[in-house]
Each structure stands twice: as structure tokens, then as C-alpha cells.
Structure 1
Amino acid sequence: MANRLAKAVAWLAPLPASLRRRATTLLFNSQVRFAGTAGLRFEALTVEQAVVVVANRRRVQNHIGGVHAAAMALLAETATGAVFGMNVPDDKLPLLKSMHVDYQRRTQGGLRAVAMLDAAQRARLVDEERGHLVVPVRIVDDSGEPPIEATMTWAWVPKKRD
């Protein structure tokens, strides 16, 4: 029972990997423009997982040359929201309920976020009229270590009928 986003991403599946990543990024950023403004790029997007990266470039840097705290939070929100969005039925409205970010250390280079939903979480999105769940995300920088720990809680509610 794929939703519109999952169907659109599936339509891109036959493309070569580099073209598919670019097309997925353009597709997502056309709907979530702020992610595009920050230069977030998708490496992968499936119903199980989203992998999103941001390069450490001037547009997203803080005063000490690392990725800005707000850009790190946006990366976590985008990765979790994307995998959540691949699974929420079209008759439900996805909403970010809470965001908690602990900054552990200075970043080294760019960042990579991996957000995942397991089968039980995906089933809840389909079976329950409304609810919320924590979408796990791991963010590492170019050193392979996590500069932040983030917890994103997403909710879903029925869309209002006109």
C-alpha cells in the first residue's frame, strides 16, 4: 500500500544510481524547499531507510568553520521525515512532534544521517488512525564519529476533509 511519495521514488528506481540520487534529491527538495536551500542531498530513500548528506561548505558553516548547529538539526529532521513520509498513508498528515538534539563535539567535514523504520513501526503507521513514534537517526561526520545525538518524534493524524 504505497503512498504518493513511495510511488514517486519507486518510479525512479530503474535510473542509474547517480541519476537516481540526484532525482530523489530534486523530488524531495521540490516539496521541502528548506532542505534544498541548505544543500541536503539524498544518497538513498526507501520505506526502510533514508540516507541524507550535507557537505561542509560556506553556506551551512558556523563561525568556527564546522556545519552549523541548525543545519545538523535540519539534517536529522530531513532524514527522519523522509523515511517517515515514505510510510505515512496519503490520508494522514505527518507532523514533527518533537526534536531533541545533543551536540557532542565539533564536526569534522560533512555529515551523513541514516534514519530507519522497522517493520513494526511501519505497520503502526498503516494500522493506527493516529499516533506518534520516535524515528531513530544516526549522524556521523567525515571522521566516522557522531558529533550529535538526535531524537525525532513524528506524529500522524487524519487529514481534514473539505
Structure 2
Amino acid sequence: MGDWLFGKVISRRAPYFGTISPRITNVRPGMCECLIKKRRGVENHIGTVHVIAIANGLEMAMGTMAEASIPKHLRWIPKGMTLDYTAKAGSDIRCVAEVDQSAWQPGDMPVTVTAYDVNDTVVVKGTINLWISEKPKKS
């Protein structure tokens, strides 16, 4: 219930994530995993999980990882996403975002994202590029 509830709380803060009904299954500094259940609402015309739903899950994993990882004096914003579709996504999908904790420096920062099916086959892989900057000084 905790994973489900955590996913719902994040989806309430960023409502678009609710379209995939995500479940955060693991989060720690430098890494987050979320699960997308294969269901009609995320399928495409051939009955596999639509790549845009997977991209949404990868972005959610990245954002959750970023919030759990970023040093307090920094802030982040996504700049772009590059994805390769490597296999059909015919099952539940596990979305993983990972970055080395030492990478949190002002400037461009690539975050590795990978989506796996239930057999641990990579179905989507890529990078989400973040812009990292210092938080403004409070007056």
C-alpha cells in the first residue's frame, strides 16, 4: 500500500503522471524505480505498452530520483529526452532512472533511464538531460 500511495501523492503534485498509475518501488539517492502495470489505458494499437506511457514513467522515475538526490543548494529542470525503443513492451514495465551522486554540479547533467519488461529485457533506454543551477540566494 505504501508504494501505491507514494505514487498517488506524486501524481497529485504532477497530475500528468496519474495517466500511467505509477507505483514507486524503490527510491534512494541516485536511483529510482517505478512500475507501470500493463492495462488497456496505457496500451497502443498492437496491445503493447505505448512508448509515450513508458517515457512518462521514465520521467517520473527521473524526477523522483532527482528530488531524493539533489543537494539542498541546487535546483533542476529537464532540458530534453532521448530514447531508443529496443523491444516490444508486452508486459508490466519497470522504469529506472540512475545518476552518480557526484554528478550533481551546476550545468548539464545526463540521467540514464531504462525500461525493462517482466523478463528484464530492455524495452526502452536513453537519457534525460537536466540543467542544474544554484538556487537563488534569499534576501
Q: Is the CA contact 1:84–1:154 (under 8 Å) kept in the aligned structure 2?
A: no
Higher helix share: 1
Q: Is the CA contact 1:99–1:153 (under 8 Å) kept in the aligned structure 2?
A: yes
Amino acid in structure 1 at the alignment position of 2:21: G
- Kindly, what percent of the aligned residue pairs are identical? 23
Amino acid in structure 1 at the alignment position of 2:19: T
Q: Is 2:123 the counterpart of 1:147?
A: yes
How many residue pairs match? The answer is 138
DSSP 3-state at the match of 1:45? strand
Residue aligning to 2:78: 96
DSSP 3-state at the match of 2:127? strand
Q: Is 2:39 the counterpart of 1:57?
A: yes
Q: Is the CA contact 2:4–2:22 (under 8 Å) kept in the aligned structure 1?
A: no
TM-score scaled by length of structure 1: 0.75
Q: Is the CA contact 2:8–2:21 (under 8 Å) kept in the aligned structure 1?
A: no
Higher strand share: 2
Amino acid in structure 2 at the alignment position of 1:39: S
Residue aligning to 2:132: 156
2:4 to 19, 22, 36: 22
TM-score scaled by length of structure 2: 0.86
Deviations 1:2-29 (A, max 9, x none): xxxxxxxxxxxxxxxxx33123212211
Q: Is the CA contact 1:135–1:152 (under 8 Å) kept in the aligned structure 2?
A: yes
**In 2, Cα distance between equivalents of 1:144 and 1:151:** 19
**In 1, Cα distance between equivalents of 2:44 and 2:66:** 29
Q: Is the CA contact 1:117–1:135 (under 8 Å) kept in the aligned structure 2?
A: yes
Residue aligning to 1:14: none
DSSP 3-state at the match of 2:16? helix
**In 2, Cα distance between equivalents of 1:80 and 1:28:** 12
Q: Is the CA contact 1:52–1:75 (under 8 Å) kept in the aligned structure 2?
A: yes
**In 1, Cα distance between equivalents of 2:5 and 2:73:** 25
**In 1, Cα distance between equivalents of 2:77 and 2:65:** 13
Q: Is 2:114 the counterpart of 1:138?
A: yes
Q: Is the CA contact 1:81–1:154 (under 8 Å) kept in the aligned structure 2?
A: no
**In 2, Cα distance between equivalents of 1:30 and 1:66:** 26
The gaps in structure 1 that reach 5 residues or longer are 1-18
In the TM superposition, 1:11-50 aligns within 5 A as 19-50=1-32
Q: Is the CA contact 2:47–2:90 (under 8 Å) kept in the aligned structure 1?
A: no
Residue aligning to 2:61: 79
CA-based RMSD: 2.0
